[in-house]
Every structure is written in structure tokens, then in C-alpha cells.
Amino acid sequence: MEAVKEKVRLQRYPAYKDSGVEWLGEIPEHWKLLRGNYVFDIINDRSPKGEEDLLSVSEHDGVKLRSESNVNMFMAESYVGYKMCQKGDLVINSLWAWSRGLGISKYNGIVSTAYSVYRPDHSNYDKDYLNYLLRIEKYVAQYVIASKGIWISRLQLSDWSFLRLPILSPPKQEQTAIATFLNEKCCKIDTAIAQKEKLIQLLKERKQIIIQNAVTKGLDPDVKMKDSGVEWIGEIPEHWEVNKLKKFITGLESGVSVNASESETASLDEIGVLKTSCVYGYAFKASENKKVFQSDLSRVKCPVRKGAIIISRMNAPDLVGASGLVKDDFPNLFLPDRLWQTVYSKTIDFDAKWLSQNLISIGFRGCVTAIATGSSPSMKNISKGDLLNLSIATPPIEEQRAITKHIEEKSKRIKHSISLNLQQIERLKEYKSSLIDAAVTGKIKVPNYDLK
């Protein structure tokens, strides 16, 4: 990371002046500040056939081809009458400007009629500079203030409100120098972030391999093996057994659907209902809950029990059957109808932590995916009978505990490495944001640009 944040002699400009705008502060003496209506023209050209490339706008990527975006929104039957935009046009999703839903387009295409399209004065403005400038936090905060609506998710930024905002306007040659500098620096930062994200993914895969090997092969590399008779398990230690899940789990209980807040989680003295996301990542997260409305408090059922395994019975294909072990008491949390909670057999002795590791192993997850049903490609479900009829390799109780300890120790080290990399990614993102802000607002003078 230090290589990315290499020491560059970033100097200040020789003279500054008060911009007259509180949220911008001082700006270089030779820079201008013009209202948006002197910089942009409103474009309202409409597509006669709707055959151009469809574009979308996102907080993270700005303007992208819809075909390359991970968007699950409905597709219109016809795009006739959609707004047309050209390369270099500014596109703003007027309902999401408050969340950085804007950017300069790199494509010719069409956008929703709910979007605003503006064409900058290309003779005096560099498109990359404008893209950096208009997406910094200072401007996003102004979009929030300038937007109108009764709550945050319905705020709308009108053309008039946007075009009244002041646009920082250095000479175009200087804009290009700033954009070139930021393109180079941001490319290095993004590459470093991508490398760390790849490392995190490899660490997660390493953890899954550790779990898979431990629950199917045990910890003794020299033990004599035998065929388990189950494809996903393969060979197991000779003294192990193969049992169906129903030997350990005699029942799966669930709650009911209740009316709850979409924005508030339950405090310790309030009643909450779990979200299906409480087992994303194959670990139980109690914080993924919704505060139950007063009118439905009497309807909640199936409280969360310490030591039980929570299982998602209905979800997206890659998440159906996701599960997590409840390690603490949560007396105020209850299950919805889309989650199951295990009821264990009282006639045999086994380690619940070991059992929970089986349920998140690669092989077992593959089996769950295979038995999941549903006509919708985006939503699958599993039946209690199908789940409990799946087989797992079963070592003696002492080995179960040893396997659990082994996985926990290995996982702890992996979790620490992941945490360090996430912290470094966050610092890189903060550095990138501060560097962009400083360059486009004139707080620093980029290298290799001299005032003429």
C-alpha cells in the first residue's frame, strides 16, 4: 500500500482567493466559479426507434452499459422515446443524485426518461475533470440539499436546482492535467484494491477447503480410508460412519411473517424478527433483524435459541440452504417464515459446532443447490424432508470436537488476515477520495503542470 501512496511532491498554488462559497472555501486565484447553466446545456433528444445501447447510472461506476451492469430491474418492452446521450454528456439519475448516481458518459446511447442529460461546453471543459469533480463528496452533499422530496429515497434533483450549483472552472489545459494525474494515480490505487480483494477471496476459498477436508477426511493424514458411498463425501476414515442429517436433527421449526420496519433494527429491549441475510456468509449475524411493529408483537413465534443452527429455506440459488450457528442468547429475536431453526435429537451425543461446519462445507452446499426447486431462476426453496435426507460423514464425538477446534483455529487466523486486508482497502479508498477532492478543488497543484 505504501508503494501506492508514494511520496509525490504535491504543492499548493502560489496564491488563493475566497471562492465566496462556504462549502468550497479558498480556491486558486486564477480559477473561475461559474453556475452550472453557463457550463451545461439541457439535452432532451429522444430516440425514434429505441435501438441504441441502453445505459444505466450507479453510485460506484457512474455511467455504464446496461448489458454490463449487475441490474435486476425490469426491462421495458420498448425504448422508443428514451433520452439520447453522447460521449462526454453528463447523465444524472435525478432520483439518486443524493447517492452519487451520476457521471460523464463514455458511450453514445439512451437512458431512462427519469434521467437528466446535460452537454458541457467541451471547448472549455475536460470531460474527465468534470467526472471527478461532480462526484466528490462536497458536490454530492449539495445535491442532497438542492433535491426536493419527503424522504431521502424520494429526493429528486431538478434541472433548475442542478444548474444553479457553482462549477469550479480552472483553465481547460489545467483541467486536463488534473484529470491525467488522477487517472494515473487512481489506476494504481484501484489495482492495489483489486489485488487485495482477490487475496481476500483466496483466503475465503482456503477456509472452505480447510472445512471440507476436515469434515470429510479428518485430521490424521495417515489414517486408513474407505469409500463412503456418497459422491460429495468421497473416501472417509475407516472408523467413521455415514449418517443422514435427520439422525442429528429431528425437526426444523420456523416463525411467521410479521410486519416490521425496513430501516430499524431492534434494540435489546425491543422485539425483532430475523432477516434472511442473517446467515449470509455462512455465519449467524444477530444484527440482521427488523424491529417488529407494535401491532404485530403478539404474532411473533419461534424465538432464537443458543446452540441451534439457523437455515435459509427459501432464497436465491446461491443462498438457499445458507446457515449459521447461534452462539449466544438473543431472547428478543424471532424467526420469520423463511428461516428454519434446528431441533436436535436427544438420544445421541454430538457436537453442534461440528454439525454446523458440515452444513457450510463446499460439498454439502453443492448438494443443497442440487435439491433446491422452484420455477423462478432467482428464487429457490428446499423441503425439510430433502434436506434432512442428505448424508454427512460422522466421526466419533472426540474427533468431532477436535475437528471443530482445528477449524476454529485456522479460521481465526484467516479472519485476522481478511480483516487486515479490509482495513487496508478502506484506507486506500479514503486516500483515493481525499486525493481526488484535493486535486479538483485546487487544494494541491498536480505535478507537471506549470502556470503559463
C-alpha cell of residue 203: 483466503
Closest CA to 325 of 300, 359, 291: 359
CATH number for the domain whose boundaries are 241-394? 3.90.220.20
The number of residues in the chain equals 452
Q: Do domains 1-31+170-220+402-452 and 34-169 have the same CATH topology?
A: no
CB atoms under 10 Å from CB of 37, counted, come to 16
**With 60 as the cut, is the pLDDT of residue 1 above it?**
no
Per residue in 250-305, pLDDT (tens digit) is 999 999 999 999 889 999 899 999 999 999 988 999 999 999 999 999 999 999 99
**With 90 as the cut, is the pLDDT of residue 68 above it?**
no
Class of domain 34-169: alpha beta
Q: What angle do CA 186, 189, 190 make, to 5 degrees?
A: 85
Per residue in 133-168, pLDDT (tens digit) is 999 999 999 999 999 987 776 789 999 999 999 999
Distances (CA, A) of 350 to 20, 395, 399: 71, 9, 10
The pLDDT of 166-188, averaged and rounded, is 97
**With 90 as the cut, is the pLDDT of residue 77 above it?**
no
How much is the pLDDT for 376? 85
How much is the pLDDT for 140? 96
- Model confidence band, residue 449 (pLDDT cutoffs 50, 70, 90): low
**With 90 as the cut, is the pLDDT of residue 4 above it?**
no
How much is the pLDDT for 127? 97
The pLDDT of 85-112, averaged and rounded, is 94
pTM: 0.84
Q: Would you list the domain boundaries of the chain? A: 1-31+170-220+402-452, 34-169, 241-394
Q: How far apart are CA 268 and CA 258, in angstroms?
A: 19
Q: Which residue has the higher pLDDT, 69 or 90?
A: 90
**With 90 as the cut, is the pLDDT of residue 447 above it?**
no
- Model confidence band, residue 8 (pLDDT cutoffs 50, 70, 90): low
What CATH number does domain 1-31+170-220+402-452 carry, 1.25.40, 1.10.287, 3.30.310, 1.10.10? Answer: 1.10.287
How much is the pLDDT for 149? 84
**Could you tell me what percent of the chain has a pLDDT over 90?**
85
3-state secondary structure of 242: strand
How much is the pLDDT for 318? 87
- Model confidence band, residue 411 (pLDDT cutoffs 50, 70, 90): very high
- Model confidence band, residue 111 (pLDDT cutoffs 50, 70, 90): very high
Annotate 115-174 with three-state secondary structure.
Answer: EEEEEECCCCCCHHHHHHHCCCHHHHHHHHHHCECCCHHHCECCHHHHHCCEEEECCHHH
